[in-house]
Amino acid sequence: MGDHVVTAAVPAGLPAGADDLSVWPASTTRLPDGDLAVGGVSLSELADRFDTPAYVLDEAEVRGRCRTYRDAFPDTDVLYAAKAFLSRAMVRWVREEGLGLDVCSAGELELAVTSGFPAERVVLHGNAKSPRDLEAALRLGVGRIVIDGPSEIARIAAAVGPGGRQKVMVRVVPGISAGGHDKIRTGTDDQKFGLSLADGSAQHAIARILGQPRLELTGLHCHIGSQITEVKPYLVALRRMVGLMARVHDAHGVALPELDLGGGHGIAYRPGEPVLDLTALARRLRAGLIESCAAAGLPVPRLAVEPGRAVAGPAGVALYRVLAVKRTGEKVFVAVDGGMSDNPRPALYGVRYAPRLIGRRSTAEPRTATVVGRHCEAGDILAADAELPGDIRPGDLLAVPVAGAYQLSMASGYNLVGRPPVIAVHEGTATTLMRRETLDDFRSRDIGG
């Protein structure tokens, strides 16, 4: 899925592993003077042309990762999780590569449909769907609505109206703790999503839905967490979900035809970190599903998976310019022109990145530094324990790989800095997908003066 072997010698002044490009897009190549090219375009030239901070998105990497999923899961519905990153271009790439789409709001849904994505290939999620979310889903003909709580059953049935029928799934909490941080573990009963398997909430909701003539229950859904790098938690979830399907069949005589196991597939943010083996996941899920269904006397349902980060994350690179370098005791702080307004993830749940100096070749000895943002928060840290050349200085350019997911999509207007642009690169050409947010944008929203 884009990881590649680099055999060139490590340049002088770089620590062991610092020149490892394994977490960068597969198109990444080295240029003279310490620069890198992604998609055939120099990153330093992109910084000069589009200014910083900026996001670079490699179209070929996105498409390649979509194809990897299609190849690994040939008899499975692969739905791209739009919350990771969505734009009109991303909608087109995902559609052309044959994936479906998983959305969480009317905004994501309407952007997708108005960009040409077929609504029947879209699944709507959300633990607190607004009236506008449901109205848009029904008006546009969304393929599935995932029911997350008991109050949604009557709300959706009433909104469908007489003569209508909406396909729905039930989000089940299978009681599994998996994922890279407490804030991204969604498979246990102590968080806000889904209906519990343990206390009977899921079974009760299923019975109510089956009694609603305006709702068609197509299957069950679960999502156990994010940044999961082992296959075993998915297999445990699979067995528990099939067990619930068997109980539904026994109680109601209904064999549900679909099973969505969500996403959360782990990727590496720094060289050497573990990743989820997609080929092993697909093979063992298929074998486990067939075995479990045979034991339960059930027909095999169609599987669905929902990768987001694993498609978009490794395709993105963030570019920053160094504004200041401060040495405080033994610590070195490297301050850049972005921060938590364009990437809140390190502050939210401790994500660790591997920034790299580009645009000049340094022969200085490496030093551990903390890359910080420009915002008025002590927690505004972009990369802790980053290995950078000891002569890092204002004006230098830093490139941060694996920046394509949950960064711009979570960006804010803090300090009125403005969100960065997104620049697509492909076969030597750079195209602006999203322009930089400007002071004029902020002023146009501020209508009360």
C-alpha distances out from residue 111 to 26, 115, 166, 405, Å:
29, 6, 21, 18
- Cβ contact 388:358 at 8 Å: no
Collapse the DSSP code of 221 into the 3-class scheme (helix H, G, I; strand E, B; otherwise coil) and give the result. Answer: strand
Map tokens 């897009």 to a residue. Answer: 25
Task: Please give the helix or strand (H or E) that residue 295 lies within, else none.
Answer: helix 278-296
User: Which amino acid makes up residue 361?
Assistant: R
Rg of the chain in Å (alpha carbons): 23
Closest CA to 358 of 322, 313, 315, 383: 322
**How far is it, in rounded angstroms, from Cα 62 to Cα 59?**
5
- Residues 6 or more apart from 51 whose CB is under 8 A from it? 436
- Cβ contact 321:395 at 8 Å: yes
- Please state, as a whole number, how many other Cβ atoms lie within 10 Å of the Cβ of residue 92: 14
**How far is it, in rounded angstroms, from Cα 317 to Cα 282?**
28
Order of strands across the sheet that contains 36-38? 29-30, 36-38, 41-42
Identify whether 53 is preceded by a cis peptide bond (ω within 30 of 0): yes
**How far is it, in rounded angstroms, from Cα 368 to Cα 329?**
13
**How far is it, in rounded angstroms, from Cα 311 to Cα 84?**
9
Tell me the angle at which helices 278-296 and 232-252 cross, rounded to the nearest 10 degrees: 30
**How far is it, in rounded angstroms, from Cα 377 to Cα 414?**
11
Q: Give catalytic residues, as residue numbers.
A: 376
Q: Is the dihedral of CA 324, 327, 328, 332 positive or negative?
A: positive
Closest CA to 206 of 190, 218, 188: 218
